[in-house]
């Protein structure tokens, strides 16, 4: 039920934002018939035209499992779709969008190529390359009925929103639209507001859609050391992948605390959270040393990340009697034949 509520709210937001954007650009863009090829630049979704905004929502839809049921998008049997990036998470939020391709031909067919960066509540980063070819169109009667029903569900669900910022933002955009249309500006998407929205609905017909994962050359890490005693006392709360990150941070030692406890024979547990997804073709290993990018032993055994995942490594280690350190680093290496290349180094502070 929660996922359905988020879906309907997402739809209401998309329609509202597209409608508000239409109001602010309709008078200046009437004579614009084509989009010239553009240079690489950061994009602000708030300033995109309605069709481009829908294209952006269409790229996000597969991550939410909504592509087949997203009523503002028409997917035909001949539509070519290649979805490598199918992250099934509802808490990823757009952070950066870089436009790498933007064209429109004489037949009204638009192409939009983007690199998108999203982040979730855990700090995981979803980086993907996306390309969509689409054409703005008007919904038929059946499609209008489906959209209208979905908007009413979204309006109903909006009353249950606990996020104050999101609630304030949705109310603001609703009031902007209502004032422009001569409706009562109460910030509530009621029957009259939705009826007005439906009358000017537009959608896009997708010809081709591709979305691919980008694996950074140097993945970002979040590393923490926890006393073995604290770990053993409640292992079930520490072994839940990224769901354990708050618990880990709560018990993590600072470098000063670690040095005071690091006596010969003492045991600790290191947690390595990969904030970026890791290329599954890389043979990886890591070590714990006193030097940044230091390749000294001991080294972990080689491991491979699962495709499209953010790995979490949990491993116990002992303090050696000869161990001396003023600083401590986790170094991550990519191995190629006999050569090891450090691709990430994280200092314990």
What CATH number does residue 309 fall under? 2.60.40
**pLDDT over threshold 80, residue 19:** no
Q: What is the pLDDT of residue 126?
A: 92
Tell me, yes or no, whether 230 and 313 share the same domain. yes
Nearest CA to 127 out of 241, 277, 273, 272 is that of: 277
Can you give the pTM of this predicted structure?
0.79
Q: What is the pLDDT of residue 38?
A: 54
Place of tokens 């952070």: 95
Tell me, yes or no, whether 255 and 171 share the same domain. no
Overall average pLDDT of the 341-345 stretch: 94
Tell me, yes or no, whether 231 and 209 share the same domain. no
Residues 106-132: tens digit of each pLDDT? 988 999 999 999 898 899 999 999 999
- In this structure, what DSSP letter does residue 244 have? G
Q: What is the pLDDT of residue 312?
A: 96
pLDDT grade for 156, boundaries at 50, 70 and 90:
confident
Q: What is the pLDDT of residue 134?
A: 96
pLDDT grade for 234, boundaries at 50, 70 and 90:
confident
Contact 346, 223 (CB under 8 A): yes
Residues 161-211: tens digit of each pLDDT? 777 777 787 888 888 888 888 989 998 888 888 888 888 778 899 999 999
Tell me, yes or no, whether 253 and 108 share the same domain. no
Residue 13: CB atoms within 10 Å:
18
pLDDT grade for 338, boundaries at 50, 70 and 90:
confident
Residues 31-73: tens digit of each pLDDT? 333 444 556 788 877 778 888 888 988 888 877 677 877 888 8
Work out the percent of the chain whose per-residue pLDDT is above 70: 86
Among 134-143, 171-180, 322-331, 338-347, which stretch is predicted with the lowest mean pLDDT?
322-331
Full domain range(s) for residue 315? 221-347
Tell me, yes or no, whether 196 and 240 share the same domain. no
Q: Dump the DSSP string for 181-242.
A: TT---SS---HHHHHHHHHT--EEEEEEEEEEE---SS--EEEEEEEHHHHHHTHHHH-SGG
Helix (H, G, I), strand (E, B) or coil at 331: strand
Nearest CA to 348 out of 276, 291, 264, 274 is that of: 291
Pull the structure tokens for residue 254: 């600072």
Distance of alpha carbon 80 from alpha carbon 211, whole angstroms: 12
Tell me, yes or no, whether 276 and 168 share the same domain. no
Residues 94-106: tens digit of each pLDDT? 889 999 999 999 9
Tell me, yes or no, whether 209 and 231 share the same domain. no
Q: Which residues of 294-309 are buried (b: 16+ CB within 10 A; e: fewer)?
A: eeeeebbeeeebeebe
Q: How many domains does the chain have?
A: 2
């Amino acid at each position: 039920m929660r996922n359905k509520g988020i879906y309907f709210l997402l739809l209401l937001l998309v329609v509202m934002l597209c409608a508000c954007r239409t109001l602010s650009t309709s008078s200046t863009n009437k004579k614009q018939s084509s989009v010239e090829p553009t240079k690489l630049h950061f994009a602000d979704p708030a300033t995109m035209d309605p069709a481009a905004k829908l294209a952006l929502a269409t790229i996000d839809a597969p991550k939410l499992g909504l592509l087949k049921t997203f009523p503002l998008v028409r997917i035909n049997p001949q539509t070519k779709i290649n979805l490598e990036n199918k992250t099934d998470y509802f808490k990823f939020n757009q952070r950066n969008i870089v436009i790498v391709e933007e064209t429109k031909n004489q037949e009204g067919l638009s192409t939009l190529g983007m690199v998108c960066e999203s982040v979730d509540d855990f700090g995981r980063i979803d980086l993907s390359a996306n390309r969509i070819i689409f054409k703005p169109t008007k919904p038929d009667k059946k499609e209008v009925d489906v959209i209208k029903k979905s908007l009413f569900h979204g309006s109903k669900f909006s009353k249950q929103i606990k996020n104050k910022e999101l609630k304030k933002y949705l109310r603001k955009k609703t009031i902007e639209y209502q004032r422009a249309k001569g409706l009562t500006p109460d910030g509530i998407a009621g029957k009259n507001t939705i009826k007005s929205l439906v009358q000017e609905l537009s959608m896009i017909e997708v010809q081709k859609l591709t979305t691919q994962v980008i694996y950074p050359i140097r993945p970002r890490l979040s590393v923490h050391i926890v006393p073995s005693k604290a770990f053993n006392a409640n292992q079930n709360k520490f072994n839940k992948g990224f769901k354990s990150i708050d618990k880990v941070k709560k018990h993590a030692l600072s470098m000063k605390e670690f040095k005071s406890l690091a006596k010969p024979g003492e045991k600790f547990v290191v947690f390595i959270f990969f904030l970026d997804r890791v290329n599954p073709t890389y043979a990886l290993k890591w070590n714990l040393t006193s030097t940044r990018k230091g390749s000294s032993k001991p080294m972990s055994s080689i491991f491979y990340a699962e495709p499209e995942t953010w790995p979490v490594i949990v491993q116990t280690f002992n303090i050696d009697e000869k161990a001396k350190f003023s600083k401590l680093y986790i170094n991550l290496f990519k191995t190629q034949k006999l050569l090891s290349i450090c691709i990430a180094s994280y200092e314990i502070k």
